[in-house]
Chains A and B, each alone.
Chain A
Amino acid sequence: MNLDSQKALKEDRPIISPIFTTGRGYYIVTGLLLAVCLWALFAYIWQLRYGLSVTGLNRPVYWGIYITNFVFFIGVSHAGTLISAILRLTNAEWRRPITRMAEVITVLVLFFGVGNVLLDLGRPDRALYVIQHGNFTSPLLWDVTAISVYLTASLIYLYIPMIPDLAILRDVSNGWRKKIYRALAVGFTSTDKQRRRLERAIAIMAIMVIPIAISVHTVVSWVFAMTITPMWHSTIFGPYFVVGAIFSGIAALITAMVILRRVYHLEDYLRPIHFNNLGLLLLVMSLLWLYFTFAEYLTVWYGQKPYELPIFWAKVTGEYAPYFWTMFVTCFVIPFAILARKKTRTITGTLVASISVNIGMWLERFTIVVPSLSNPRLPVEMAQYSPTWVEWSLMAGFFAAFILLYMLFTKLFPIISIWEIREGREIGVSETVERLKTYLPGEIKEEGSA
């Protein structure tokens, strides 16, 4: 593969053109999202002024949808890095158009996960005390450590495979853009030496990022599991959360892919096969999720422990039953019904399943965080938790800001890796044929004779 930037402009125009041309729709959506963000900013100022009393939190429900969102966002972050790393390492050729859009989700969404913890602090001005005066027995500090490492690794993992594309953009752009791309492309000209180093760096990062990603969501689960709170204190929470994270991550990725495909006319790049493959992955995760959920709840019910049962029943038949059963339907019934059949595993089908899973996984996080707190061991004067307009506004604001930044990214950088697509065309095809031949016994018939 060579770095012929003009050729890129010709061959992969659909990837590059969104960067240089922007339609009216983009500005309208940006305006709407900005309005939501501004509203959320107002809500946050309101919360800073009046404290957490503007939320629906109380005693004993000290954590609500901010923490739910924190777990949810960190979960979604597994979309990118982990999936793209696994697909890269396994040489899955169909990965080429989706790795970049997945990695961007990871990097952006991590900021919002951390942001939610900051929203939840009574004294956000003291957030840095966690580093200055860190107490390493606290799982919250493990979280800070794991997420920082993950964010750094994901950023590097997003950036390194982007360098050849930045070089292409440097060659075809001018003005302020050229300056940015030149700086970011760090003199990449696709010499053999550079290419070897690039590929080596990508391979190393792809391997490193997998244990880091798994550790992050395990540690997030430990924030709950390390306490002795009933139905938080569970040994399977680590893997349960990781499975849920990958599950919601794939769902978020499919959703993003469908939108990008539609808006930027990437039909030629993101084909039904991509959605079929990711849909199958989503199906597997849905079944895994069901297995974990079943194992978790059966153990609790069978054990009949006095402090766990009230929480169990609050979820299954009590006040949280609507959330719990909606979660069950949206995380399992709907995606399973759609994705198990080839006929419905279409682009629209996987989109519906993904949106369903995203809703379901948010509810899963919610039904883990809140019911355990609202059913403490000892009788406490109880107050119901219902989130207020401030909490909902901030949640809306975070989602809006995430979409906004994602959109902004597509205006600065190619959302599909140009060089990897080209590599697929120029090297991937013949390489795959060669690789296939090594799998097979006996003589391979030449093309056309079959």
Chain B
Amino acid sequence: MSLWGMAIDVDRCTGCQACVIACKQENNVPFSTPEQADKGRHIAWIYIQTEIEGEFPDINIRFRPMLCQHCERPPCVVVCPTGATYKNDEGIVAQVYPRCIGCRYCANGCPYAVKTFNYDEPVWPERMKASMNEDVSVRYKGVIEKCTFCSHRLIHAREKAAVEGRELQEEDYQPACVETCPANAMVFGDLENPHSKVSQWNQDPRAEYLLEGLGTRPKVTYLKGGV
């Protein structure tokens, strides 16, 4: 059994948004109109948070990719009345869309505010429709959705490894955002394997968790410290 986790080097992130695009493409995340964005209803499983530190002219701008932190003690899971959001054996916090009643309690319980709700029926421009990912179910109006660490890729990778008669390797399963990142600012792998890249990045003294004091024990680490 593995425990999947991610590490993101904020000092390396250029804020290019490639991960955001890759995620949208991979997970059939609906296209949000500017009107929806203005109303605070755009849906993204990962987005770039711009952080400005210091006072002008001595300012420092950082980009922080924000996504579900896949907490070991997820506050969203305990409050869900139907078990539509749950944590699986490998630590991935998942959402079962056909089970979700759309009460949004989980979204209110999440201190990272990374759960998004389908206020509208999802829409895609024609060109996006042509490249929908058939491995990922499409969500509909009235349910919550969020990052799954591209868990559909894990299923594929495991099947492939089984067919080829070998153990699952770290390279077999990488989420779309990590795979895409041109600045190599993100790594993903098994936290229980001390030799995995993510475990090694976590050894970095710059490594920190978001809102660590809450005791949610996220499985996404941020490396931050340089200028």
Hey, what's the 0/1 contact readout for B97-109 against A, CB within 8 Å counting as 1? Answer: 0011111110111
Chain B residues with Cβ below 8 Å from A122 are 100-104, 117-118, 141-144
The answer to whether B41 touches A59, judged by C-beta atoms less than 8 angstroms apart, is yes
Q: How many residues of A contact B (CB 8 A)?
A: 44
Digitize B118-137: 1 where CB-to-A-CB distance is under 8 Å, 0 elsewhere.
11110000000000000000
B49 contacts the other chain (Cβ, under 8 Å)?
Answer: yes
Binary contact readout B131-154 vs A (1 if CB under 8 angstroms, 0 otherwise)? 000000000011110000000000
Given contacts A127-B101, A140-B103, A383-B40, contact A135 B119 (CB under 8 A): no
B166 within 8 A of A: no
Q: Does A129 contact B (CB under 8 A)?
A: yes
Within the complex, which residue of A61, A123, A127, A138 is in contact with B105, where a contact is CB–CB below 8 Å?
Answer: A138
A227 touches B109 (CB 8 A): yes
Q: How far is the CB of A371 from chain B (nearest CB, A)?
A: 13
What is the minimal beta-carbon distance from B51 to any residue of chain A, in angstroms?
A: 8
Q: In the complex the two chains form, what is the Cα distance from A51 to B119 in whole Å?
A: 6
Instruction: For B107, list chain A residues within 8 Å (CB).
Output: 59-60, 62
B182 within 8 A of A: no
In angstroms, Cα B120 to Cα A137, docked, is 29
Decide if A378 is an interface residue (CB 8 Å cutoff): yes
* Residue numbers in A under 8 Å from B210 (CB-CB): 378
Residue numbers in B under 8 Å from A144 (CB-CB) = 81
Residues on B with beta carbons closer than 8 Å to the beta carbon of A123: 100-102, 142-143
Assess whether A228 is interfacial by the CB under 8 Å rule. yes
B162 interfacial contact with A, CB 8 Å? no
Smallest Cβ distance from B188 to chain A, in angstroms? Answer: 22
**Bound complex: CA of A129 vs CA of B120, how far in Å?**
22
Contacts of B112 in A (CB 8 A): 377-378
Q: Roughly how many angstroms separate A381 CA and B78 CA in the complex, as a whole number?
A: 26
Residue of A nearest to B77 (CB): A137
Say whether, besides A52-B142, A377-B211, A382-B40, A62 and B104 are in contact (CB < 8 Å): yes
Residues of B within 8 A of A117 (CB): 103
With a CB–CB cut-off of 8 A, which chain B residues contact A139? Answer: 79
Query: Which residues of chain A come closer than 8 Å to B103, judged between CB atoms?
Result: 117, 120-122, 140
B222 to chain A minimum Cβ distance, whole angstroms, is: 12
Given A137-B78, A228-B75; A51-B120 close (CB under 8 Å): yes
Residues in B neighbouring A152, C-beta threshold 8 A: none
Residues A51 and B142 in contact, CB atoms below 8 Å apart: yes
Find out whether the CB atom of A129 lies under 8 angstroms from the CB atom of B111: no
Most buried by B among A121, A140, A227: A227
Tell whether A380 is near chain B: CB-to-CB under 8 Å.
Answer: yes
List of A residues within 8 angstroms of B81 by Cβ:
130, 134-135, 138, 140-141, 144
Determine whether the beta carbon of B111 is less than 8 Å from that of A52: no
Tell me if A126 is interfacial: C-beta within 8 Å of chain B.
yes
Does residue B113 face the partner (Cβ distance < 8 Å to A)? Answer: yes
Q: Does B214 reach chain A (CB closer than 8 Å)?
A: yes
A53 CB–B CB distance under 8 Å: yes
- A448 CB contacts on chain B under 8 angstroms: none
* Nearest chain A CB to B48 CB, angstrom units: 11
Report if A189 contacts B (CB, 8 A). no
Give 7 nearest A-B pairs by CB, closest first: A122-B102, A383-B40, A122-B142, A58-B40, A62-B104, A140-B81, A53-B119
* Chain A positions near chain B (C-beta within 8 angstroms): 50-53, 57-63, 117, 120-124, 126-127, 129-130, 133-135, 137-141, 144, 223, 226-229, 373, 376-383
